[in-house]
A and B are shown apart, each in its own frame.
Chain A
């Protein structure tokens, strides 16, 4: 497991990282926790000539509350997100998704920003961020912009990030204390075969608005908008009803298939996981 040779550079600031990206063009890749990029390099599926390590970039790590909401630096590890009391109170869904990633080692190296930027079709946190309607703060050659989750995840391994862009932070504009994550893990990798993220806005004991995102089924996480619509107005104590409405969560999505799980199964499990996430989220609203 030896990668092709590459040069290793470190950036101390976002500006410097962008400068290095510009300088090295297509040849270069940013390095965060390395837990998606390095395995691909070792298998020689990725062969960047230059790695730009973000580890020393100041201000890209940590969790803080600002006027914009809860801001999480892109370099914050899965473990830090999972263990954060702020995240657990503000959006337990994200803490659960982060806690569900891989194993202990992976969670202590891999980063929230890396997971989002990598955009694996079966990643945990992207689904959570989609359901929480996160904003992605991106620094590029022409300045800083924010992109909504809906527009951030474009396709498998493809996001709104341009070649010279750095994802600096993820912002959760709104608290969803009634939110939860459910996952059917792959027995080998523990990546989700199917995962469902649910964030509920609740008022007067009923669902005001539901946000459900599914991962593992399509090439990108998607919102189960049709189920979301049906759930509006349902009392959070009516478990049977909520469960029965989580049908065809993956409607219209072209499902993936591999040696472990076929498309039909993934589509069926989207409903099962969606129902679990919805019920667990509703439980938190009571």
Chain B
């Protein structure tokens, strides 16, 4: 029966049929009568003064209604940013550039016309004159001094954060061995399959704005739009229709959204804008982009006593919604899954003349995992130890939980050794090492890479975030016994329409088909914080769990009254509320719902109706963990890397739907592996994006990815009532270092101890040909 078997069931995703048959409504499918279309004139330069803008020819072009510049939008607020970091420098960020531009692709003029083509043609007629300023693209030079992105600050350092846990200086002084490395974490483009899009509809009669946006945060977007445009919040409705992926890039409020809403109000017409793929590459936030200097101190047995990390984080030209907060997550996670008592971190967030970085799947944690996991391998190489053994000796032990990390976090629950040993066993680690040795004697370049990660997610306690972090849910029983759920999460691929319905089915005993999960419309759903930071199930799911409890309690009261029994004598079992020991005397939740709706024969202290809205404020983050093992073979002639085997043992606590969890891990690994092997955003020294198209930027095809062998351990969390941790980002966080460690391991015969990502064929080939690459000698010299 559905009632008992729903939790943990491989229910196929209910949202998929409509998605894969094209019967779904994305922003671009929203077609309103009288719609006009926006096209943006964007800066061709990375950094320049704007000396003249002439929109007269564009305005005279057929079908054009308006051409807006910053001058037209003086009364409109800046693109918002949330983080409140001490001493953070916040540059002005008008939606259309005012007087100067700070990255190539920055919107300067918005042309609104009757058709997309007319808008695009007219955009070509806008004349903008620029006086070029020096580009700032090199982080090590940016931190050192001029030229500055924002002259008014007299520095490119937006903020500095220092964390000191324990006594790192003496740990290093007393260490038997130390290793250090400079690690690059390259810039990536999120590349969701649906680019950003929006339709803004100002209705002059009711003085009301509706904004359809491809967003992960419809309610936060609504609040921010109200503030930026000066429209009272109750007169703004925000709708995230079907959203084709986001990976964090749509956890944002964008200039174009503000401009579209402004233009709709100025023209009394709906305004639509959907970015092109090229625009997406140059003007949607990027992710990662750090230089990390990592140093480890250890004893001869490989026990780590100290960790020093210096992070140079590329923030780009402006702060988008969470830009400066992302690298702080790196700083907080540098010790990873290891028991390191002495940790010192210095983080500089740096302005450059590039498009802002912000959340991208993993958001700060992949960088942390990468640097510690690479450093562990460097230590193993230096000591001549098996990297598995170094990990085994340093992983936090089961009995240490809850574990207070040296940088001030409290890891909730874990059994890292269990996942680690399981992964090694599943991969056949010892046999792999033998095969590698044998292979090497035959000239084969086999590499085995490990990564044991822990990540912080389930964002999260409001007190620890720059935005609210609670979850919300409404459960409404309809008179006919069907259930409507409204979640504050904003799923855009994660599958909560299925997993949340499974929870309802389990707790209320209704068939899954009798449950609908609504989300993403501020006029329908109670305020919600949205979907990001692997939070939806752990936080909004917990709110749903509470709402289901409340509905159950009320249903029991009503049932007791109707059946003339005591609540204490009832039990909720097999989909019925029955008198204990007398299963004949029972009511289904549907029957109770009808009684509650009809309003007859209710207990005196009970209101009609059967619904509940509940919120959940998590007391802590949750900390999923696991170990990934990757085996690669390198082709000597070309440098091509082939992944022969990929094993992942992840622990995300209790599981509602294993198939969806596996899907999240598959996709996560794909993106993490892709950073290791394929993807990189390349700006040239003038701040020009050199590979901003899918012809050049390598998002892998299925054939470029391996088969995954997955398993899990289950260590429930005590942070929420279901014992569930997040899983949306774990795969990405774990995968990247596993793959790079494997590649570097394969190159060990060449004396290589480090190489930069992506490990593309040319780079690997150059390393093997002795052109590039970090060897132990080179590392020792520097």
Q: Which residues of A contact B (CB under 8 A)?
A: 1-2, 4-5, 43-44, 103, 184, 186-191, 258-262, 265, 268-269, 272
Stretch at the interface among B72-80, B592-600, B758-766: B758-766
A1 to B281, CA, bound (A): 13
Task: Judge whether B637 is part of the interface by a CB distance below 8 angstroms.
Answer: yes
Q: Which residues of B contact A43 (CB under 8 A)?
A: 278
Q: Which residues of A contact B518 (CB under 8 A)?
A: none
Task: Judge whether B780 is part of the interface by a CB distance below 8 angstroms.
Answer: no
Contact A259 B277 (CB under 8 A): no
- Contact partner of B121 (CB less than 8 A), chosen from A5, A103, A262, A268, is A5
Q: Which residue of B lies closest to A261 (CB)?
A: B762
Contact A259 B700 (CB under 8 A): no
B736 to chain A, nearest CB (A): 16
Q: Which residue of A lies closest to B696 (CB)?
A: A188
Contact B765 A265 (CB under 8 A): yes
Q: Which residues of B contact A269 (CB under 8 A)?
A: 638
Given contacts A1-B276, A1-B277, 18 further A-B contacts (CB under 8 A): A1-B278, A2-B116, A4-B121, A4-B124, A5-B121, A43-B278, A187-B678, A187-B704, A188-B698, A189-B695, A190-B701, A258-B690, A259-B691, A260-B760, A260-B762, A265-B762, A265-B766, A269-B638
A189 to chain B, nearest CB (A): 4
Contact A2 B120 (CB under 8 A): yes
Contact A259 B682 (CB under 8 A): yes
What are the 3 tightest A-B residue pairs by CB atom distance, in nearest-first order?
A187-B698, A188-B698, A189-B695
A4 to B118, CA, bound (A): 10
Task: Judge whether B403 is part of the interface by a CB distance below 8 angstroms.
Answer: no
- Contact partner of A188 (CB less than 8 A), chosen from B640, B695, B761, B766, is B695
A191 to B695, CA, bound (A): 9
Q: Which residues of B contact A272 (CB under 8 A)?
A: 637-638
- Contact partner of B762 (CB less than 8 A), chosen from A5, A191, A262, is A262
Q: Which residues of B contact A258 (CB under 8 A)?
A: 690
Interface size, chain B (Cβ < 8 Å)? 30
Task: Judge whether B699 is part of the interface by a CB distance below 8 angstroms.
Answer: yes
Task: Judge whether B117 is part of the interface by a CB distance below 8 angstroms.
Answer: yes
Interface bits B678-711 vs A (CB < 8 Å: 1, else 0): 1000100000001100111111110010000000
Q: Which residues of B contact A260 (CB under 8 A)?
A: 691, 696, 760, 762
26 contacts between A and B (CB under 8 A): A1-B278, A2-B117, A4-B121, A4-B124, A5-B117, A5-B121, A43-B278, A44-B124, A103-B701, A187-B677, A187-B678, A187-B760, A188-B678, A188-B698, A189-B694, A189-B695, A259-B690, A259-B691, A259-B696, A260-B762, A261-B761, A265-B761, A265-B765, A265-B766, A269-B638, A272-B637
A112 to B654, CA, bound (A): 55
Contact B761 A184 (CB under 8 A): yes
Q: Which residue of A lies closest to B637 (CB)?
A: A272
Q: Which residue of A lies closest to B116 (CB)?
A: A2
**B431-487: which residues lie under 8 A (CB-CB) from chain A?**
none
B126 to chain A, nearest CB (A): 14
A189 to B443, CA, bound (A): 31
Known: A1-B276, A1-B277, A184-B638. A189 touches B120 (CB 8 A): no
Q: Which residues of B contact A186 (CB under 8 A)?
A: 696, 698
A190 to B695, CA, bound (A): 8
A124 to chain B, nearest CB (A): 15
**B414-437: which residues lie under 8 A (CB-CB) from chain A?**
none
Q: Which residues of A contact B696 (CB under 8 A)?
A: 186, 188-189, 259-260
Q: Which residues of B contact A (CB under 8 A)?
A: 116-117, 120-121, 124, 276-278, 637-638, 640, 677-678, 682, 690-691, 694-701, 704, 760-762, 765-766
A50 to chain B, nearest CB (A): 17
A182 to chain B, nearest CB (A): 11
A182 to B295, CA, bound (A): 44
A16 to chain B, nearest CB (A): 28
B759 to chain A, nearest CB (A): 11
Q: Which residues of B contact A189 (CB under 8 A)?
A: 694-696
A44 to B638, CA, bound (A): 35
Q: Which residues of B contact A4 (CB under 8 A)?
A: 121, 124
A81 to B766, CA, bound (A): 37
Q: Which residues of B contact A188 (CB under 8 A)?
A: 678, 694-699
Q: Which residues of A contact B762 (CB under 8 A)?
A: 260-262, 265
Contact B276 A268 (CB under 8 A): no
B603 to chain A, nearest CB (A): 63
A261 to B765, CA, bound (A): 11
A22 to B124, CA, bound (A): 29
A140 to B640, CA, bound (A): 45
A83 to B99, CA, bound (A): 58
A259 to B640, CA, bound (A): 17
Q: Which residue of B lies closest to A265 (CB)?
A: B762
B196 to chain A, nearest CB (A): 14
Q: Which residues of A contact B677 (CB under 8 A)?
A: 187
A44 to B120, CA, bound (A): 11
A187 to chain B, nearest CB (A): 4
A246 to chain B, nearest CB (A): 11
A138 to B766, CA, bound (A): 44
Q: Which residues of B contact A5 (CB under 8 A)?
A: 117, 121
A44 to B125, CA, bound (A): 14
Q: Which residues of A contact B120 (CB under 8 A)?
A: 2
A275 to chain B, nearest CB (A): 8
Q: Which residue of B lies closest to A191 (CB)?
A: B695
A190 to B698, CA, bound (A): 10
A4 to B699, CA, bound (A): 29
A112 to chain B, nearest CB (A): 21
Q: Which residue of A lies closest to B689 (CB)?
A: A259
Q: Which residues of A contact B698 (CB under 8 A)?
A: 186-188
Contact A268 B765 (CB under 8 A): yes
A265 to B638, CA, bound (A): 9
Q: Which residue of B lies closest to A276 (CB)?
A: B637
Q: Which residue of A lies closest to B769 (CB)?
A: A268
A191 to B762, CA, bound (A): 16
Q: Which residues of A contact B704 (CB under 8 A)?
A: 187
Q: Which residue of B lies closest to A266 (CB)?
A: B762
A103 to B761, CA, bound (A): 21
Q: Which residues of A contact B695 (CB under 8 A)?
A: 188-189, 191
Q: Which residues of A contact B638 (CB under 8 A)?
A: 184, 269, 272
B137 to chain A, nearest CB (A): 14
Q: Which residues of A contact B682 (CB under 8 A)?
A: 259
B263 to chain A, nearest CB (A): 19
B334 to chain A, nearest CB (A): 31
B406 to chain A, nearest CB (A): 39
A1 to B766, CA, bound (A): 37
A204 to chain B, nearest CB (A): 30
Q: Which residues of A contact B117 (CB under 8 A)?
A: 2, 5
- Contact partner of B700 (CB less than 8 A), chosen from A44, A187, A261, A262, is A187
Q: Which residue of B lies closest to A189 (CB)?
A: B695
A103 to chain B, nearest CB (A): 8
A260 to B677, CA, bound (A): 12
Q: Which residue of A lies closest to B771 (CB)?
A: A264
A5 to B278, CA, bound (A): 20
A224 to chain B, nearest CB (A): 17
A213 to chain B, nearest CB (A): 19
A269 to B278, CA, bound (A): 30
Q: Which residues of B contact A184 (CB under 8 A)?
A: 638, 640, 761
Q: Which residues of A contact B766 (CB under 8 A)?
A: 265
A5 to B115, CA, bound (A): 13
B671 to chain A, nearest CB (A): 14
A237 to B571, CA, bound (A): 81
Q: Which residue of B lies closest to A103 (CB)?
A: B701
Q: Which residues of B contact A191 (CB under 8 A)?
A: 695
Q: Which residues of A contact B701 (CB under 8 A)?
A: 103, 190
Q: Which residue of A lies closest to B37 (CB)?
A: A2
A4 to B121, CA, bound (A): 7
Q: Which residue of B lies closest to A272 (CB)?
A: B637
